[in-house]
Amino acid sequence: MTQQWRPSKGPALRRYQREVFFDLLDALRTRRGETFTVMFPRQAGKNEVAAELLQALLRLESERGGSAIAASPTLTPQGLISLERTRAALERTDRVGTAGATRVDGATISLGAATAHFLSASPSAHVAGHTASILLSGDEGQELDREWFERQFRPMAASTAANTVFFGTPWNGHTLLDEAVARNRERDTGPEEGRSLFHYEVSWEKVAESVAPYREFVLKERERLGTEDVYFRTQYGLQTVDGAGSLFTAAALAALEGTYQRQKEPRPHERYVAGLDLGGGGEHADRSVLTIARVCPGARCEVVDHASWRGIPLLDLDAKVLEKVRPWRLERLVVDSTGLGASSAEHLARELGSVTVEAFMFSGRSKSDLGQRLLGGATQRTLALYANDGSVDARICRAELRACGRTNHPGGRMQWGAAGGNDDYVVSLALALRAAEQAGEPRFATGRRRE
Max avg pLDDT among 99-103, 163-167, 314-318: 163-167
Confidence of residue 192 (pLDDT cuts 50, 70, 90): low
Nearest to 86 by CA among 322, 96, 202, 72: 72
Confidence of residue 450 (pLDDT cuts 50, 70, 90): very low
Asked if residue 446 has pLDDT above 70, the reply is: no
Q: What is d(CA 287, CA 268) in angstroms, rounded to the nearest whole number?
A: 31
Average model confidence (pLDDT) for the chain?
A: 88
* DSSP 8-state symbol, 385: B
Asked if residue 262 has pLDDT above 70, the reply is: yes
Give every CB contact of residue 379 below 8 A, 6+ residues apart in sequence: 225, 226, 228, 229, 251, 252, 255
Q: What is d(CA 388, CA 377) in angstroms, rounded to the nearest whole number?
A: 19
Confidence of residue 131 (pLDDT cuts 50, 70, 90): very high
Share of the chain above pLDDT 70, in %: 89
DSSP string, 148-170: HIIIIIGGGGTTTT--EEEEE--
The verdict on whether omega for the bond into residue 77 sits within 30 degrees of 0, i.e. cis, is: yes
Model pLDDT, residue 191: 55
Asked if residue 4 has pLDDT above 70, the reply is: no
Q: How many other C-beta atoms lie within 10 A of the C-beta of residue 35? A: 19
Model pLDDT, residue 211: 95
Q: Give, in order, the Cα–Cα distances in Å from 63 to each of 1, 66, 113.
A: 8, 9, 6
* DSSP 8-state symbol, 210: H
Burial 271-296 (b: 16+ CB within 10 A, else e): bbbbbbbbbbbeeebbbbbbbbbbbe
Q: 230-257 pLDDT, tens per residue?
A: 788 999 999 998 766 788 887 889 999 9
Q: Give, in order, the Cα–Cα distances in Å from 364 to each of 149, 303, 367, 371.
A: 26, 26, 6, 11
